[in-house]
Amino acid sequence: MRDAEVTPLPRPGLFRSFFMGGFECSTHRRRDGRRLDVTHSTRHDAMVTQDYRQLAEHGMRAARDGVRWHLVETTPGHYDWSSVLPMLQAATLTGTQVAWDLCHYGWPDGLDVYSTAFVDRFAAFSRAFARLHLEETGHAPMVCPVNEISFFAWAGGEAGLMNPGHTDRIYSDELKLQLIRAAIAGAKATHEAAPGARILAIDPMINIIPREGQDPEDALGRNEGQFHAWDMLSGRQAPELGGGPDVLDIVGVNYYWNNQWLHGGEREAVLPSDSRHRPLRQLFADVYERYRRPIFMAETSIEGEQRAPWFRYVCEEVRAAMRAGVPIEGICLYPVLSHPGWDDDRYCPNGLFELGSDGDDRRPVHEPLAAELREQQRLFRELLGGTKIFAAAD
């Protein structure tokens, strides 16, 4: 279904382009203890300038990327920016606006995530990065202090998928509170060092559906739980933690093909074709109505040949949400670059760009998704009254 006559809507202004590219930058330790560094395993650290240039060729002048805390602070209180400076320089050289994740699931070795030192060191690291960014670029940064607090707390505190590796639900709540403390401290330190910095709070939107005959209370409680991190960051829940509007500045929502599922047992995804599926536009409306903060799609993708159809579905739902009054600021293809899998290093073909081979100076392009991206850029230009923010060059 294509858009016919449309009424121009308020133009997004948060990012340099409505469509963005996100580079997978996880640095956690897996359940087997192995440290991941996906920025390195995809050679994005070595190819960052060319990667940003290829984004621009596809009309994306904004990106999500990561600062690898475990490389920067190998000694407490001492910062080695050699892994960061080339990325800042590449962003400046290519005119790419980058939103930086400061803790994408990983932290320095020897640091106890539950300790006071974790919060203190993270705040100091955030402050130091904000100063560096201001000195190197001349402007305050846009950062996500702690990526996906809710998922992080579940994966590390209940499911045992990553550090700290707990498998008891009680630890999920404890870990979430500690990550909230760190995120609030990091956001405040960033603002102190670089007034005008923008803070992203990114988490998944989910819908867990009770099975037939099942007591719905646990599923409903977990659905409500998706809001707890944002509630605490905003100060509407547990205000003693120090949350507020300066911390819940910009809301980023992540949504993948399997973000709706049947509760209990083997996880079974509920797809858009299923009558039990809640339309994505409604999930957007729920989050926006709750917080009334700038909001954008921070992550979305699927593997294989469904990449273009899935992206088309997401864009159609975003346009529907915008027409219904949700002022969505952008859509980030995440990951924009296919990558080795977390658990087994299998190739995950989920990006606009394929990983390619060692020695390549450009990434191969998944042409069906590239064609769909061009079509969606055209449709959003029409929706928003011909704004130029979707062109490859401003």
CATH superfamily for domain 19-390? Glycosidases (3.20.20.80)
287-316 pLDDT tens trace: 999 999 999 999 999 999 999 999 999 999
Q: What pLDDT does residue 388 have?
A: 59
Give me the pLDDT at residue 389, please: 57
Examine the pLDDT at 339 and tell me if it is beyond 70: yes
Confidence at 387, pLDDT banded by 50, 70, 90: low
Please list the alpha-helical segments (H only) found in the chain: 38-41, 44-57, 69-72, 85-94, 116-137, 149-157, 169-193, 217-225, 228-234, 280-291, 307-323, 367-383
**Alpha-carbon distance 252 to 299, whole Å?**
8
Residue 269 has pLDDT above 70, yes or no: yes
Q: Give the per-residue pLDDT at 357.
A: 87
Residue 223's pLDDT is what? 96
Query: How do residues 130-139 score in pLDDT, each as one tens digit?
Result: 999 999 999 9
How far apart CA 98 and CA 84 sit, in angstroms, is 12
Under 8 Å between Cβ of 256 and 299: yes
Does residue 26 have a pLDDT over 90? Answer: yes
Average pLDDT (349-375) is: 95
Q: How far apart are CA 260 and CA 207, in angstroms?
A: 5
Q: How far apart are CA 380 and CA 369, in angstroms?
A: 16
pLDDT of residue 391: 47
Cα separation, 204 vs 255, in Å, equals 6
Average pLDDT, the chain: 94
Position 392 scores a pLDDT of 43
- pLDDT per residue as tens digits for the range 187-246: 999 999 999 999 999 999 999 999 998 999 999 999 999 999 999 999 999 999 999 999
Contact between 143 and 126 under an 8 Å Cβ cutoff? The reply is yes
**pLDDT exceeds cutoff 80 at 18:** yes
Q: At what angle do helices 85-94 and 44-57 cross, to 10 degrees?
A: 20
What is d(CA 36, CA 24) in angstroms, rounded to the nearest whole number?
11
Helix, coil or strand: residue 55: helix
CA separation (Å) from 215 to 210, 211, 264, 266?
7, 8, 11, 17
Q: What is the pLDDT of residue 385?
A: 83
C-alpha–C-alpha distance, residues 50 and 363, integer Å: 9
- End-to-end CA, the chain: 29
Which pLDDT does position 182 carry in this prediction? 98
Q: Is the pLDDT of residue 4 over 70?
A: no
pLDDT of residue 130: 98
Residue 5 is predicted with a pLDDT of: 47
The string of pLDDT tens digits covering residues 102-145 is 999 999 999 999 999 999 999 999 999 999 999 999 999 999 99
Q: Which two tokens stand for residue 135?
A: 């000195």
Q: What was the pLDDT predicted at 7?
A: 53
Q: pLDDT per residue over 30-61, tens digit each?
A: 999 999 999 999 999 999 999 999 999 999 99
CB 15 within 8 A of CB 346: no
Name the percent of the chain lying above pLDDT 90: 90
> In the numeric block, which tokens belong to residue 379?
């449709």
Q: Could you tell me the residue ranges of all domains in the chain?
A: 19-390
